[in-house]
Structure 1
């Protein structure tokens, strides 16, 4: 008895699959979207901080360039070199500097509040851009000592958050650098200018970091030199966060201020060494993510509910006809062969019911039909195999027996007898060689053909050609004795030698010409090589012949190809080798015009299979 119906199990499985799928998609979408959005917002804020740092650097470098005209001025240099006790020189150089040097700089850069030069001689020249009467009295020696300690010895400028006027260091930026006089090789004075930091508010104050977002600017020592006017922002930077920011070049960190989590994003200025920090509430950053989360949950819940309803209806519609079919099969078990009656269906279940009805009505006929069909199939396969074997054997025999006329052998024996009677030794030799060749071709029952058999057949052929061409024909055989019993396919070596005589030496062999037969083992292959130094062939003809070998086309298909005319032909030899040993064996050719041709016959080494 069933513990749970199929419809309940289908609905349960549907519910699990749908729930897992929607949960995985929703979780992945939410996680990926929230991560990407967080990263994008952080990147945007970091880019804003980098732009702010860049604009600030440009602004400060503009003031730094203003010092160039002062440090190279002659009056300034002489002022640094003068005797500290010479009051007249001090008066004269101070007047020249205040009259001719400082005013142009104040005119070009009205934001400069103070300009002053302090020498190691204890003298100072100071000027106020806005109120000459408000110039403070300063301790020149102390100021020089402090500035000397704060500025680099190489003359580079440095930025300081200090002022010569007490009580105003929080709103002032001092740009200072060491300078030297005319006769000094080392710096012996300091040039400094003070700029109101509020002038940079035009750059820093335009940033919009959202609700609750602030920007801070800190100097090299971690001192905050700029904060927004909001009182909450001025107290929101924790000292622990400042310490952590000072130990990182750029990046972000989180801090908890009065229960509010904030993200601090820091960028370091390469020129000024100042640190630009954006402080943004995490809740503000994650507000779009919360919206996405809520939307994902609502849409997922609605989709899940709709999917479960559809899954239940689908399961019920598929299970009902199966129940009917199951009841019919129970009747069949009892021997009641009734068809299942249902409405016409065109789906798989309808096909299943129709197949069941057909099975019930024609079960015995179907078994008999299947049995007879299997017998016919097996018989057909056997016949096809026999036909393929016969075609294979017929093709091989047709190729091999192209020169197998029995009556010629008997006729040649008769001619040999007459030649002996007539005392014609040449005719007798020719007929004997021809008879040997025919006998060798007729012997189809030979089980194994060796290299020695093929060489003997070649010698008989050369004997005939010697009398035919009326000259001695010599073939150089350099085959090692232990290779003479290697197995070959019959009638494969003589066609190669015949091909050389006909095409490599069309005018006959002359002194210096050679035909060389060699053999060697190479791994699992046995190679027979026929080489000549005849006329060779063009690269185009060689490529065409290689293509024909690759396609396994038989001899006689192209009467215009000289390498296919006469005798059995190269293609015939190539095809017969492949019929015996397989497609991986056969002939290979190398040739070059005027240098000769090399034909390599590739056979398997140490073959023990039957040779035909």
Structure 2
């Protein structure tokens, strides 16, 4: 169903208005929500940090109190006394209670629940506010517990257990050393009233259902607002999760409500202070923003649609007039449109239409002429391209014709036979074969037998160059002679051996060995020599050139040697046929020779017949190979 322009304009305006309002509303809502969430989280984090700072300040205060106790000589001498001396025990008890404990209780009458010193020798001194002594209470279990939980370096340990079970206290304990030795002789314990510490935490405003709780380093609940909350925290395992440091901000169900839990770990006490607040209370301001955004958005949408309707109608009415005029033009009635004088874009459009009608025939003529000119230009370009191709073809014809070289070598061979020069004839025949073999496509795959035959002709020529016979050892199973490999990859390696490994001349002790085998799904052609080898630095440079993965042109180096360029090109040509995972692998040591491995894929080899899988070893002499 086709839509009129008016409907399309109204539809597009509606889409644009909805998209704009939706984008602004969603963006405003998300930004406001994120800002409120960030503000709430910042507030909670500030609350936790302030509460933690106050708690740490209280604990540090009592750590200083413990320092004054530990530095008192009567305490240290009490720990070194003979436990069987009752008189000394009575004297130290009285002196420590009067000179140490009483002063501390005067300063902190409500914060401290109890203080006591537990000696390694079994004697203990309790503060004067308690009605019992070590004779009525067995402190050995408490001593063992605190000794295990306090560090040996004298630092304090904070635990949430008490001497007397059932008491809600926080204990600060630390080890005491003797007066005459550095060994640990006892434990000082100061039990603080939990109610005094909780006064620091209960003043925090966390809303109607939010609460504050504290966990020790093991995840045990040190403080909770009530017994039900303490039980719920233990049941849900929140203590272990928070103390384990898995999360510092996460959601969890507590007492049947979805809560946001934010925790902070005190570096001083090792406690984890956490705040739990209901999500519905946190989201209440966001819900108000959402409702306001939806209401304002709907009202704005209604007003915008009315304006869009009026705006669209004002545009479509004059366009309809222009449309009727164009229908007449389609019928062949080249007539001007008569309308009221307008100064806006629609008036300009009608004026332009009238000009178009009057000049239409001229425009068609110009377009026709332009098309002819364009076709003529294309023909001229095609002629230029053809001339360029002809020039390239003529240049190719001017190159040396390899068949002329073949015929010339055959002529030289005939003269050598007539002159009874077997050496020249043998060299020319080998040269002709190598020329025919070399001028073919570089990357064409051939068989291993072809490559070995090419090496044989090269050795014939080399024999006449060095002036004496030599031999190479070829160890190739018959089943691998028809294996496919890249043309002109074996002979350059043998030539490289003569130029570099035997640069000072080929001696009787020298040898070249060509071995072929299948290993790990790859065809390996191994060429070894016992020449001069390479230094580590030269070998590393050669391997680096192989890794560059590109063909190079030969450049003359000192003494006219190619410096490994042939090896680099052989390596890259193998990779161009079989892939970058194949190529050359070179091993060498100075004075121990060189080992070059040509690695090619197994798929390039034909499937051997069962009767052809026996390996054979041959040592063809170069002179008669």
* TM-score of Structure 1 vs Structure 2, range by shorter chain: 0.5 to 0.7
Say if 1:321 and 1:349, in contact at 8 Å, map to a contact too: yes
Say if 2:229 and 2:255, in contact at 8 Å, map to a contact too: no
Say which SS state the counterpart of residue 248 (structure 1) adopts.
coil
Q: Does 1:186 align with 2:186?
A: no
Separation of aligned partners in 1, 2:255 and 2:99: 56
Say if 2:221 and 2:239, in contact at 8 Å, map to a contact too: no
Say if 1:254 and 1:263, in contact at 8 Å, map to a contact too: yes
Q: Does 1:217 align with 2:221?
A: no
Aligned to 1:310: 307
Say which SS state the counterpart of residue 87 (structure 2) adopts.
helix
Say which SS state the counterpart of residue 275 (structure 2) adopts.
strand
Shift of 1:4: 2.1
Say if 1:250 and 1:267, in contact at 8 Å, map to a contact too: no
Task: Please report the TM-score for the alignment, with normalisation by the length of structure 2.
Answer: 0.54
Say which SS state the counterpart of residue 277 (structure 1) adopts.
strand
Separation of aligned partners in 2, 1:330 and 1:16: 31
Aligned to 1:66: 65
Separation of aligned partners in 2, 1:333 and 1:122: 119
Say if 1:82 and 1:89, in contact at 8 Å, map to a contact too: yes
Separation of aligned partners in 1, 2:64 and 2:330: 106
Quick check: which has more Rg, 1 or 2?
Answer: 1
Structure 1 gaps of 5+ residues are 375-612
Say if 1:138 and 1:164, in contact at 8 Å, map to a contact too: no
Aligned to 2:464: none
Instruction: Select the residue among 346, 350, 353 that pairs with 1:349.
Output: 346
Aligned to 1:30: 29
Aligned to 1:47: 46
Separation of aligned partners in 2, 1:204 and 1:134: 32
Q: Does 1:7 align with 2:28?
A: no
Separation of aligned partners in 2, 1:351 and 1:344: 10
Aligned to 2:294: 297
Q: Does 1:140 align with 2:151?
A: no
Separation of aligned partners in 2, 1:209 and 1:3: 62
Separation of aligned partners in 2, 1:243 and 1:206: 26
Greater displacement, 78-87 / 113-122: 113-122
Aligned to 1:175: 172
Mapping of 1:38-437 within 5 angstroms? 38-110=37-109, 111-128=111-128, 131-133=129-131, 137-168=136-167, 171-229=168-226, 233-237=229-233, 238-248=235-245, 251-257=248-254, 259-334=256-331, 336=333, 339-357=336-354, 363=359, 367=362
Structure 2 gaps of 5+ residues are 370-625
Separation of aligned partners in 2, 1:94 and 1:86: 12
Task: Please report the TM-score for the alignment, with normalisation by the length of structure 1.
Answer: 0.55
Report the CA distance shift for 1:334/1:167 in structure 2 as closer, same or farther (over 3 A): closer
Separation of aligned partners in 2, 1:44 and 1:18: 38
| Matched pairs, number | 366
Shift of 1:36: 3.5
Q: What does the per-residue CA deviation read over 1:213-259, in whole Å, with 9 as the maximum and x for residues that have no partner? A: 11111222322222225x66445434232232221166112112354
Report the CA distance shift for 1:145/1:40 in structure 2 as closer, same or farther (over 3 A): same
Aligned to 1:21: 20
Separation of aligned partners in 2, 1:108 and 1:250: 40
Report the CA distance shift for 1:249/1:329 in structure 2 as closer, same or farther (over 3 A): closer
Say which SS state the counterpart of residue 163 (structure 1) adopts.
coil
Separation of aligned partners in 2, 1:336 and 1:252: 78
Greater displacement, 231-240 / 248-257: 231-240
Say if 1:267 and 1:276, in contact at 8 Å, map to a contact too: yes
Shift of 1:159: 0.9
Separation of aligned partners in 2, 1:88 and 1:232: 50
Say which SS state the counterpart of residue 222 (structure 1) adopts.
coil
Q: What does the per-residue CA deviation read over 1:190-222, in whole Å, with 9 as the maximum and x for residues that have no partner? A: 111111011112210111112211111122232
Shift of 1:357: 4.3
Say if 2:215 and 2:243, in contact at 8 Å, map to a contact too: no
Report the CA distance shift for 1:144/1:259 in structure 2 as closer, same or farther (over 3 A): closer
Please provide the CA RMSD for this pair.
2.8
Q: What does the per-residue CA deviation read over 1:66-89, in whole Å, with 9 as the maximum and x for residues that have no partner? A: 011111111111100000111111
Say if 2:215 and 2:239, in contact at 8 Å, map to a contact too: no
Separation of aligned partners in 2, 1:264 and 1:343: 73
Report the CA distance shift for 1:187/1:263 in structure 2 as closer, same or farther (over 3 A): same
Say which SS state the counterpart of residue 264 (structure 2) adopts.
strand
Shift of 1:55: 1.3
